[in-house]
Structure 1
């Protein structure tokens, strides 16, 4: 099952992602992300959070349209986005796309990116997206495929320490069973040479940042 989560961060042009959102099996609005849904005539299946970014009128509008409302206390241990991801996991989503998880606040942006590396989500494909970027985590002992265009920028950033035995295909600067070291920048600003690139690793965890043409609609 594919789930899309709309968070309360920056979305420059919702029209570019609207079709992708509507094609999802499950649409979740995380607190203030509901405003994007209301402004674009999308009814989420679930509204979740502590609702400190919404008015009661906005909550009532989606509730009247059949949206499930899950209210959490303001004093809690998780962000609204983490609550939304956990709900999607409980509903057995195997792929999650998150829009509005980047921008505005650096602390929230960094925390949202690191959420992708949560051990509880290791068997689920989760991506953070904006209008020209897709951020994902590549797990060990996997082959990760990237669809794009020649010239798209791919950055590979180790998480939780060094990443070993990385092999890439379809990138300008290739790796052949080579490591990338935590805290170093060797994997930043590579480029796709074809419409399909692959990355495989045997040990470690990689953050993959795919930056693409800003003028095309986001397709996931």
Structure 2
């Protein structure tokens, strides 16, 4: 079976930037209100799932009618968030890549839990990233270097997701590192800048969160 990109639209902050992520052939998944976002913008979700506690009955029927597959669950007797349900479904499809959209918002408990999903994708050997209007997050380990390309984001920050990340080497950045170590609580890796079109990050041990970002006032109008 052909492996495809899976884009998960969740119920956090969404806008025109999220629609621009869609490519021909992508599998579109709507988690709870993220499904309504897709439907209202003329897209037919390949899968809509969640407890749908953030939509009313009319909106729910609109989602049901417009989606290729629809799965609703009880909002009380479920163990996973809507986003993790969608993410688990994507893993089961053996996705080539998973892109999480609308998973960052005002609820930091949900936002941080969604960042932790990057670890599950890494363990499964599936590329995964989180994106919103001002940020793009990826997680890496020591198995392979990571190329960071110049894009709409102006800064690149590095934060450990494990207690310690060792053997960090940066090439093509304004502030280079060679065999450095970062531990949780350090801000040494914040706000680096690419010197050219691409930079490369290598680590030896640990889990390193790589965040490309820009300030809100730099973001294009949605």
Instruction: Name the TM-score, length of structure 1 as normaliser.
Output: 0.89
Change (3 A) 1:151 1:171: farther
Q: In structure 2, how many angstroms separate the alpha carbons of the residues matched to 1:16 and 1:178?
A: 35
**1:43 maps to which residue?**
44
Which secondary structure does the structure 1 equivalent of 2:163 belong to? strand
Checking the alignment, whether the CA contact within 8 Å between 1:133 and 1:209 is kept in structure 2 is yes
Pairwise CA distance, 1:41: 1.3
Q: In structure 2, how many angstroms separate the alpha carbons of the residues matched to 1:150 and 1:26?
A: 24
Q: In structure 2, how many angstroms separate the alpha carbons of the residues matched to 1:178 and 1:134?
A: 23
Checking the alignment, whether the CA contact within 8 Å between 1:151 and 1:191 is kept in structure 2 is no
- Stretches of structure 1 lacking an aligned partner (at least 5 in a row): none
Checking the alignment, whether the CA contact within 8 Å between 2:32 and 2:54 is kept in structure 1 is yes
Pairwise CA distance, 1:128: 1.0
Please say if 1:93 is aligned against 2:98: no
Q: In structure 2, how many angstroms separate the alpha carbons of the residues matched to 1:19 and 1:47?
A: 20
Pairwise CA distance, 1:121: 4.3
Q: In structure 1, how many angstroms separate the alpha carbons of the residues matched to 2:122 and 2:168?
A: 24
Which secondary structure does the structure 2 equivalent of 1:115 belong to? helix
The Cα RMSD (Å) is 2.1
Pairwise CA distance, 1:171: 1.1
Q: In structure 1, how many angstroms separate the alpha carbons of the residues matched to 2:152 and 2:48?
A: 38
Q: In structure 2, how many angstroms separate the alpha carbons of the residues matched to 1:97 and 1:159?
A: 19
Checking the alignment, whether the CA contact within 8 Å between 2:39 and 2:45 is kept in structure 1 is no
- What is the aligned counterpart of 2:160 among 158, 161, 186? 158
**2:131 maps to which residue?**
129
- 1:169-204 CA-to-partner distances (Å, cap 9, x unmatched) read 121111112211222111111111112111111110
Pairwise CA distance, 1:96: 0.8
**2:73 maps to which residue?**
72
Decide which structure has greater strand share.
1
Pairwise CA distance, 1:164: 0.7
**2:17 maps to which residue?**
16
Checking the alignment, whether the CA contact within 8 Å between 2:168 and 2:204 is kept in structure 1 is yes
Checking the alignment, whether the CA contact within 8 Å between 1:149 and 1:194 is kept in structure 2 is no
- Stretches of structure 2 lacking an aligned partner (at least 5 in a row): none
Checking the alignment, whether the CA contact within 8 Å between 1:150 and 1:192 is kept in structure 2 is no
Pairwise CA distance, 1:61: 2.3
Which secondary structure does the structure 2 equivalent of 1:194 belong to? coil
